[in-house]
Amino acid sequence: MEPVSVTALSFTEYVMSGQRGRINIVSEQRSIYLTADRWVCGFYNPMRDAMRRAANSPDPEAELDRAVRSASLNGQLRAFEELRDGFLPWLRSTRATGVPTGTTRWSAGELTLKVRPHLGLLGPDGSTAAVLVYVKEQPMTQEVANVGLRILQHTMPLTLAGAEPLVLDARRGRAFRMSRRTNLAKLDALIAAEAAGYVVHWRMSA
């Protein structure tokens, strides 16, 4: 059997897509992961790279503007402008600077997830945060963010020990945190079920 491995964020987006859209989104993700076309793989990469630079820059706006000016693919300019306009006020509100994050893998059944926070942040009070940055047009919800947050929780000792996990909806500048009231046992069961579904959809789309 072909091993199935995607990023934690791709899996989170699968959970978001709803029953009707899941086969389509897995087919799309499968083609991206297996393609040799770097342009297809890297649509949002210039902006994600700019966000990391912005966290350590005396002029974060200039870093994001540079990424906006680099937009050359269909749809990139509007997407990058929306990401800049949502991310920049949020980053400034944190008053944080960037710190390195590690990369690890975490398995849920037959699905292996690559986990690397897009941002590591050090706050002025000494606290740290590990951030998955969501960049798509559809708004993130707390229910879906909890999936990404839980995966970050499981892997935090290897990516940024002691940090608070965050999922950032960058277009809207909204950061999601795990509520203390969240039933983690039910959330883990949900992730296990969704992971099994992902593997089935992946293999059906082969």
pLDDT for 39 beyond 70: no
- Beta strand 104-108 pairing with 111-115: antiparallel
Q: How confident is the model at residue 37 (pLDDT cuts 50, 70, 90)?
A: very low
Q: Examine the pLDDT at 41 and tell me if it is beyond 80.
A: no
Cβ pair 123, 96 in contact under 8 A: yes
- Summarised one tens digit per residue, pLDDT across range 133-182 is 999 999 999 999 999 999 999 999 999 999 999 999 999 999 999 999 99
Burial 88-121 (b: 16+ CB within 10 A, else e): beebeebebebbebbebebebebbbbebbbbbbb
Tens of pLDDT, residues 78-104: 999 999 999 999 999 999 999 999 999
**Domain locations in the chain as residue ranges:** 4-204
State the pLDDT at residue 202: 87
* Mean of per-residue pLDDT scores for the chain: 91
Q: Checking DSSP bridges between strand 119-122 and strand 111-115, what pairing results, if any?
A: unpaired
> Among residues 20, 64, 21, which one has the least CA distance to residue 46?
64
Beta strand residue intervals within 23-173, DSSP E: 97-98, 104-108, 111-115, 119-122, 128-134, 164-169
pLDDT for position 101: 97
- Check whether 19 has a pLDDT greater than 90: no
Q: What is the DSSP letter of 140?
A: P
